[in-house]
């Protein structure tokens, strides 16, 4: 592998139902930082069926170029045709960096592509920068410059590791949604589009889609909420979430939950905060009846203000809470909601 | 039908986690467990065995001590256990790990391979899909439901706001979510069997069609530049108050921070 042949920062621009996922703009935003450090450009790779009209939106958020792979086989996400499309782009264009969102799609696509093109993949990155590897010179070992340094949490968020991929290209990372900053949208920018189709021949790896079942939901995405009222196993039942909903209503917030609540069937997966759910960064996070498994804490500890209510004073959630109250949520919440209503009325 | 389940022994980061005073994880106090997603994958395999009849083989890669999870799996109902262990395999990233497991799996007949979606220590969710790539078989990741129909599997595959019902011809690989099921307990008879069971142990020489350059630390494209225990912001105030006082306290803090 001649590493010098590999140039440019590429991002996978995930779309579903011909709507670009916000992660694509976040990756372009971070990609611009990296490209500036390297003196190169950002190329978005848009894969789907009848998606070319989405390319300008990627340009508006900063993509210097958009490669469009458009084929009827790509209408719905399936691992094989998408992996073939993205791996073929890698083989054809030889990017030095390839970023993919750590979404349910990206975490399926990324490993398959990295294995196909034989390179490393760092999962769920929360920080990306250009630097030297090894970070400090080591006698007898070449220190390589302009490497992608990929930082990610491990052990359920208890350790952080910075990973490099010095001898293989592209340097691939999946990136946690909601962490990187989008650039400001420049309306009216037109994309520099390049069409590419490697050909799609269905084989045993093309799975058949029998049915697509969309969750019927009109709830706010918890990743966008400024105030989250989050409940855990301690809430006790699906019905008892009413107490949290009333509190959320008076604050203009949204209800979310821990994994235990999803496992118990009280709330749907899309409301789950944590390592296997969503990473949230609200202004205020109420952790109610949540003990605070580290997988949960990893998904919410970046909140500006954390208020925890738990009857167990040894609950780990208190180790990250700004304000911890040891007490019975069933008694505290109704009083709190009433007081907030009164406080609002007085304003 | 022949089903292979890949399982991993991991430190138990769930439940009784303890922090050191500096906010880092107190590893010394942690037990090891069978990775939860893998256990759900094993349970799915055992249910297929109950329903259709199948031979279930569990495979793990790790230190010799990882034999414990194979015996646990046999006590739950798996038929055979294979431990892949060798000093030259140590330090593997997901590329080298998936190459190792693929090398082991090439020695085994299988219709269906099940892995957990991800392990709770690394959380990468990469090894399952990468094994399928090396074996050139289809993968369905994030399975929340699984059944067999003729020579195919039908799987509910979870996405953020939807699920797809997918059909793949076997042989194929499925990665399981722990939401898939509630794993069964070990049975007394199973525990007895597990103690008696002969665990097959394979080393580097037993891996099929894998080059040395793809194994262990040396075969890993990714390398650690630095690792550190995360410094947490630490706890603030913790108070014990009666409900009215608690409400006053929270309202006061929210006002102080201009939330209301």
The partner residue sitting opposite B138, judged by closest CB among A80, A167, A322, is A80
Residue B153 at interface with chain A, using a CB cutoff of 8 Å: no
A318/B17 Cβ within 8 A: no
Task: Give me the tens of pLDDT residue by residue for chain A, a chain 347 residues long.
Answer: 899 999 999 999 999 999 999 999 999 999 999 999 999 999 999 999 999 999 999 999 999 999 999 999 999 999 999 999 999 999 999 999 999 999 999 999 999 999 999 999 999 998 999 999 999 999 999 999 999 999 998 776 667 889 999 999 999 999 988 788 899 999 999 999 999 999 999 999 999 999 999 876 555 689 878 899 999 999 999 999 999 999 999 998 999 999 999 999 999 988 999 988 888 888 899 999 999 998 899 889 888 899 999 999 999 999 999 999 999 999 999 999 999 999 888 76
Q: B204 in helix, strand or coil? A: helix
Residue B133 at interface with chain A, using a CB cutoff of 8 Å: yes
pLDDT of residue A225: 86
Question: How many angstroms separate the CA atoms of B86 and A41, rounded?
Answer: 44
Question: How many angstroms separate the CA atoms of A248 and B129, rounded?
Answer: 40
Contacts of residue B249, defined as CB under 8 A and 6 or more positions apart, other chains included, come to: A323, A325, B239, B241
Distance from the A345 Cα atom to the nearest Cα atom in chain B, whole angstroms: 11
Judged on CB neighbours under 10 Å (0-12, 13-18, 19+), A28 is buried
Distance from the A134 Cα atom to the nearest Cα atom in chain B, whole angstroms: 6
Chain A residues 93-112 within an 8 A CB cutoff of chain B: 103-105, 107-108, 110-112
Query: What are the structural domains, with CATH classification, of chain B?
Result: 2-214 (3.40.50.620)
Residue A217 at interface with chain B, using a CB cutoff of 8 Å: yes
Residue range A96-124, pLDDT digits in tens: 999 999 999 999 999 999 999 999 999 99
The partner residue sitting opposite A324, judged by closest CB among B98, B142, B236, is B236
Q: What's the fold here for domain A3-195?
A: Rossmann fold (3.40.50)
One fold for A3-195 and A222-346? yes
Residue range A304-342, pLDDT digits in tens: 899 999 999 999 999 999 999 999 999 999 999 999 999
The partner residue sitting opposite A154, judged by closest CB among B123, B126, B239, is B123
pLDDT of residue A157: 66
Q: Residues of B with CB below 8 A from A155's CB? A: 11, 13, 25, 121
Q: Which two tokens stand for residue A179?
A: 């962490």
pLDDT of residue B233: 64
Q: Residues of B with CB below 8 A from A275's CB? A: 123
Q: B133 in helix, strand or coil? A: helix
pLDDT of residue B133: 97
pLDDT of residue B83: 98
Distance from the A189 Cα atom to the nearest Cα atom in chain B, whole angstroms: 30
Neighbours of B79 (CB within 10 A): 16
Distance from the B134 Cα atom to the nearest Cα atom in chain A, whole angstroms: 7
A115/B130 Cβ within 8 A: yes
DSSP codes of every residue in A107-160:
HHHHHHHHHHHT--EEEEESEEEEEEESSS-BTTBPPEEEEEEEEEEEGGGTEE
pLDDT < 50: residue spans in chain B = 15-16
Q: Residues of A with CB below 8 A from B257's CB? A: 284, 305
State the sign of the Cα–Cα–Cα–Cα dihedral B90, B93, B96, B98: positive
A269/B239 Cβ within 8 A: no
Asked whether the beta carbons of B17 and B226 are under 8 A apart, the reply is no
Which CATH superfamily groups domain A222-346? Answer: TPP-binding domain (3.40.50.1220)
B249/A323 Cβ within 8 A: yes
A284/B129 Cβ within 8 A: no
Q: Residues of B with CB below 8 A from A170's CB? A: none
Residue B248 at interface with chain A, using a CB cutoff of 8 Å: yes
B230/A153 Cβ within 8 A: yes
Q: Which two tokens stand for residue A45?
A: 């790779």
pLDDT of residue B15: 47
DSSP codes of every residue in A58-78:
HHHTT-SEEEEEE-GGGSS--
The predicted complex's ipTM stands at 0.86
pLDDT of residue B71: 97
Chain A residues 47-86 within an 8 A CB cutoff of chain B: 76-80, 83
pLDDT of residue A269: 87
Residue B250 at interface with chain A, using a CB cutoff of 8 Å: yes
pLDDT of residue B49: 97
Provide the strand spans (E) within chain B: 2-6, 9-11, 32-34, 55-61, 80-84, 112-116, 139-149, 152-158, 162-169, 172-176, 199-202, 223-229, 237-240
Residue A300 at interface with chain B, using a CB cutoff of 8 Å: no
pLDDT of residue A216: 60
B25/A155 Cβ within 8 A: yes
User: Per-domain residue ranges for chain A?
Assistant: 3-195, 222-346
A119/B125 Cβ within 8 A: no
A205/B136 Cβ within 8 A: yes
A-B CB pairs within 8 A amount to 277
Residue A144 at interface with chain B, using a CB cutoff of 8 Å: no
Residue B161 at interface with chain A, using a CB cutoff of 8 Å: yes
Residue A264 at interface with chain B, using a CB cutoff of 8 Å: no
pLDDT of residue A239: 96
Residue B252 at interface with chain A, using a CB cutoff of 8 Å: no
């Amino acid at each position: 592998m001649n590493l010098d042949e590999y140039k440019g920062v590429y991002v996978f621009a995930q779309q579903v139902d011909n709507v670009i996922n916000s992660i694509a703009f976040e990756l372009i935003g971070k990609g611009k930082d990296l490209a500036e450090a390297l003196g190169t450009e950002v190329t978005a790779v848009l894969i789907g069926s009848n998606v070319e009209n989405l390319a300008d939106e990627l340009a508006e958020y900063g993509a210097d170029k958009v490669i469009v792979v458009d084929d009827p086989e790509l209408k719905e996400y399936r691992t094989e045709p998408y992996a073939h499309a993205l791996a073929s782009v890698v083989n054809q264009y030889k990017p030095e960096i390839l970023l993919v969102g750590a979404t349910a799609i990206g975490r399926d696509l990324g490993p398959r592509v990295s294995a196909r093109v034989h390179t490393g993949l760092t999962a769920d990155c929360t920080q990306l920068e250009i630097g030297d590897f090894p970070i400090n010179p080591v006698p007898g070992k070449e220190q390589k410059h302009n490497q992608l340094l990929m930082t990610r949490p491990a052990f359920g968020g208890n350790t952080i590791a910075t990973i490099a991929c010095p001898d293989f290209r592209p340097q691939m990372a999946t990136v946690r949604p909601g962490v990187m900053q989008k650039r400001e949208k420049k309306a009216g920018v037109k994309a520099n589009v390049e069409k590419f189709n490697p050909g799609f021949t269905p084989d045993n790896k093309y799975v058949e889609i029998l049915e697509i079942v969309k969750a019927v939901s009109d709830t706010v995405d918890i990743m966008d909420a400024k105030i989250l009222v989050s409940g855990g196993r301690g809430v006790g039942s699906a019905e008892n979430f009413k107490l949290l909903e009333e509190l959320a209503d008076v604050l203009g917030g949204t209800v979310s939950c821990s994994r235990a609540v999803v496992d118990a069937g009280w709330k749907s997966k899309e409301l789950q905060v944590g390592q296997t759910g969503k990473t949230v960064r609200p202004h205020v996070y109420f952790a109610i009846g949540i003990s605070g498994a580290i997988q949960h804490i990893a998904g919410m500890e970046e909140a500006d203000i954390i208020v925890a209510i738990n009857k167990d004073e040894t609950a780990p959630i208190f180790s990250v809470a700004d304000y911890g109250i040891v007490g019975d949520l069933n008694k505290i919440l109704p009083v709190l909601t009433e007081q907030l209503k009164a406080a609002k009325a007085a304003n | 039908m022949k089903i292979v389940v890949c399982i991993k022994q991991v430190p138990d980061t769930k439940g009784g986690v303890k922090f050191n005073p500096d906010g880092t994880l107190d590893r010394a106090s942690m037990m090891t467990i069978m990775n939860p997603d893998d256990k759900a994958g094993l349970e799915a395999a055992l249910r297929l065995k109950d329903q259709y009849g199948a031979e279930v083989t569990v495979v793990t890669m790790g230190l010799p001590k990882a034999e414990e999870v194979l015996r646990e799996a046999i006590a739950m109902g798996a038929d055979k256990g294979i431990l892949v262990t060798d000093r030259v395999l140590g330090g593997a990233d997901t590329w080298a790990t998936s190459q190792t497991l693929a090398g082991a799996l090439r020695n085994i007949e299988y219709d269906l391979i099940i892995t957990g979606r991800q392990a709770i220590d690394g959380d990468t969710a990469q090894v399952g899909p990468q094994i399928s790539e090396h074996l050139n078989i289809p993968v369905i990741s994030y399975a929340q439901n699984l059944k067999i129909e003729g020579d195919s599997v039908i799987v509910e595959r979870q996405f953020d706001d939807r699920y797809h019902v997918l059909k793949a011809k076997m042989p194929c690989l499925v990665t399981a979510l722990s939401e898939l099921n509630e794993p069964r307990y070990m049975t007394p008879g199973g525990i007895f069997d597990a103690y008696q069971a002969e665990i097959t142990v394979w080393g580097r020489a037993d891996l099929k069609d894998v080059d040395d350059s793809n194994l262990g630390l040396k075969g890993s494209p990714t390398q650690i530049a630095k690792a550190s225990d995360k410094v947490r912001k630490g706890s603030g105030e913790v108070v014990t108050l009666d409900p009215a006082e608690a409400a006053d306290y929270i309202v006061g803090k929210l006002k102080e921070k201009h939330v209301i």
